[in-house]
């Protein structure tokens, strides 16, 4: 039995309205001033205000940093680090999907480990000495689980690549998973982030690093997502379904953060770096095809996935049940309205070669249960084109 490590948050809060604990938790920890990291859309649609109003009511001073876009960049992180230093804050509150939370993690790590100020040296497993500035994360999407993972992703614009950074020192000290912050998500974003969470759960379940502890989380996440994602896409204001999805994506994150992912993420990252394809959409589009590719390497686990997806496998052979898992994922993706091809996303066909090179070199690809060559990745891109 190999030695295993499992890293989780110190504290997490769940349930609609749980953001109400924020001010008390900040005071309890003795923090004096907050840098709020979020994006302009969340400010515009008054989602950020649902959190900052709690700070105001608790008389906690804060400053805003909103210069975060989808697929955040090295340049934005550097601007955030400068803003943190200028603000005099001693804690970061991140409000948003993966982009603001990942940006907050990078700001927090660099602020306490200034030797990584170039940002690009954080790629992969960075040897940071100090824990991040404390980050309290409030997710507004049910997908990335950035609030419970030891990973963050920053786009290196100069070299046109998504850098996956893995560092136990970056995990938020606290997660506040409040489904009320997710109610304004439109159907398309709800579907894409939900399928992102399903990808995390399935890849985390079949990755080479998976073991009993991570398996327990990932299977439960698959079960919850299969049940509640169609409900919440159909009725975005369904608070019970929103809350169940919020919990499901967090559970998936607890697993994959500790055991890694696979080829779906390896192929999705370059799509975001080169063509700004939203991460959840890229994952959802790729997932059924890559599951088919990986089937031989994970037949028994696919049977478990089929059961978790609600398939009655009674009387089926292992192979038929495994295929049913792939079909169930494909059916769910169609049902929630995920685009079917890369062409639908305006990805140029002559870009597939460079995508395959980047995907082959991506940090997630070696975790795939089936070893893969660059030529095979190119063929897989062509299949979903």
**Each residue's pLDDT tens digit, 250-307:** 999 999 999 999 999 999 999 998 998 988 899 999 999 999 999 999 999 999 999 9
Q: Model pTM?
A: 0.95
319 and 213 Cβ atoms separated by less than 8 Å: no
Residue 342 has pLDDT above 70, yes or no: yes
| pLDDT score, position 48 | 97
- In the sheet with 135-139, reading across from the earlier edge strand, the strands are 11-14, 174-177, 135-139, 91-96, 34-37, 62-65
What pLDDT is recorded for position 161?
86
| 20 Cβ contact list (under 8 Å, min separation 6) | 54
pLDDT of 110: 98
Mean pLDDT of the chain: 96
Whole-number Å distance between alpha carbons of 321 and 218: 19
Q: Which residue has the higher pLDDT, 98 or 370?
A: 370
The average pLDDT across 16-36 equals 98
Question: Average of pLDDT values for 134-159?
Answer: 95
The pLDDT confidence band at residue 70, using thresholds 50, 70 and 90, is: confident
Cα(311)–Cα(154) distance, rounded to whole angstroms? 37
Structural domains in the chain, sorted by start: 11-182 (3.40.50.1970), 187-384 (1.20.1090.10)
From residue 147, alpha-carbon distances to 161, 251, 290 in Å are 23, 11, 26
Are the beta carbons of 303 and 328 closer than 8 angstroms? no
Torsion angles phi and psi, residue 311, rounded to 5: -80, 135
| Predicted local confidence at residue 1, as pLDDT | 64
pLDDT > 90 in the chain, percent: 95
Query: Per-residue pLDDT tens for 303-331?
Result: 999 999 999 999 999 999 999 999 999 99
144's CB contacts (< 8 A; 6+ apart) are 97, 98, 101, 102, 193, 196, 197, 249, 253, 279, 280
Say if CB 158 and CB 209 are below 8 A apart: no
Confidence category of residue 380, pLDDT binned at 50, 70, 90: very high
Contacts of 331 (CB under 8 A, 6+ apart): none
For the segment 125-139, the average pLDDT, to the nearest whole number, is: 96
pLDDT for position 372: 98
User: How far is the C-alpha of 336 from the C-alpha of 97, rounded, in Å?
Assistant: 19
Neighbours of 347 (CB within 10 A): 20
* Torsion sign (Cα): 145, 148, 151, 156: positive
Measured distance CA(307)–CA(176) in Å, rounded:
31
**Phi, psi at residue 331, to the nearest 5°?**
-60, -40
Q: Quick one: pLDDT at residue 71? A: 85
CB within 8 Å of 189: residues ≥ 6 apart? 141, 280
The set of residues, in sequence order, having a beta carbon less than 8 Å from that of 260 and lying 6+ positions away, is: 204, 207, 208, 209, 364, 367
* Burial degree of 85 (CB within 10 A; 0-12, 13-18, 19+): middle
| Of residues 142, 77, 146, 143, the one with CA closest to residue 113 | 77
Nearby residues of 127 by Cβ (< 8 Å), 6 or more positions away: none
For 164, list phi and psi in degrees, rounded to 5. Answer: -90, 120
pLDDT tens readout for residues 162-220: 899 999 999 999 999 999 999 999 999 999 999 999 999 999 999 999 999 999 999 99
């Amino acid at each position: 039995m190999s030695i295993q490590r499992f890293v989780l948050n110190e504290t997490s809060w769940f349930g609609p309205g749980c953001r109400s604990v924020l001010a008390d938790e900040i005071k309890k920890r003795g923090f004096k001033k907050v840098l709020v990291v979020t994006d302009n859309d969340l400010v515009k649609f008054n989602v950020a205000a649902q959190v900052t109003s709690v700070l105001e009511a608790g008389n906690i001073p804060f400053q805003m940093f909103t210069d975060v876009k989808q697929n955040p960049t090295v340049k934005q992180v550097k601007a955030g680090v400068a803003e943190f230093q200028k603000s005099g804050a001693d804690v970061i509150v991140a409000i948003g999907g993966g982009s603001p939370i990942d940006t907050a993690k990078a700001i927090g790590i660099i602020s306490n480990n200034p030797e990584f100020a170039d940002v690009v040296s954080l790629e992969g497993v960075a040897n940071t000495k100090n824990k991040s500035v404390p980050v309290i994360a409030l997710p507004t999407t049910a997908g990335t689980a950035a609030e419970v993972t030891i990973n963050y992703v920053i786009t290196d614009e100069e070299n046109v690549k998504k850098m996956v950074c893995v560092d136990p020192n970056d995990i938020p000290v606290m997660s506040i998973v409040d489904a009320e912050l997710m109610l304004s998500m439109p159907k398309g974003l709800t579907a894409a982030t939900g399928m992102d969470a399903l990808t995390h759960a399935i890849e985390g379940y079949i990755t080479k690093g998976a073991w009993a502890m991570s398996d327990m989380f990932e299977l439960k996440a698959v079960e919850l997502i299969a049940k509640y994602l169609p409900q919440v896409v159909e009725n975005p204001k369904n608070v019970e379904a929103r809350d169940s999805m919020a919990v499901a994506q967090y559970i998936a994150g607890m697993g994959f953060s500790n055991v890694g992912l696979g080829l779906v993420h390896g192929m999705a990252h370059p799509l975001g770096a080169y063509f700004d394809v939203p991460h959840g959409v890229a994952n959802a589009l790729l997932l059924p095809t890559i599951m088919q590719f990986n089937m031989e390497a994970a037949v028994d686990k696919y049977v478990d996935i089929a059961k978790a997806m609600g398939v009655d496998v009674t009387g089926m052979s292992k192979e038929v049940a495994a295929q049913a898992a792939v079909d169930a994922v494909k059916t769910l993706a169609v049902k929630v309205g995920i685009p079917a091809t890369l062409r639908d996303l305006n990805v140029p066909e002559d870009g597939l070669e460079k995508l395959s090179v980047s995907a082959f070199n991506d940090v997630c690809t070696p975790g795939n249960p089936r070893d893969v060559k660059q030529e095979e990745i190119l063929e897989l891109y062509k299949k979903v084109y």
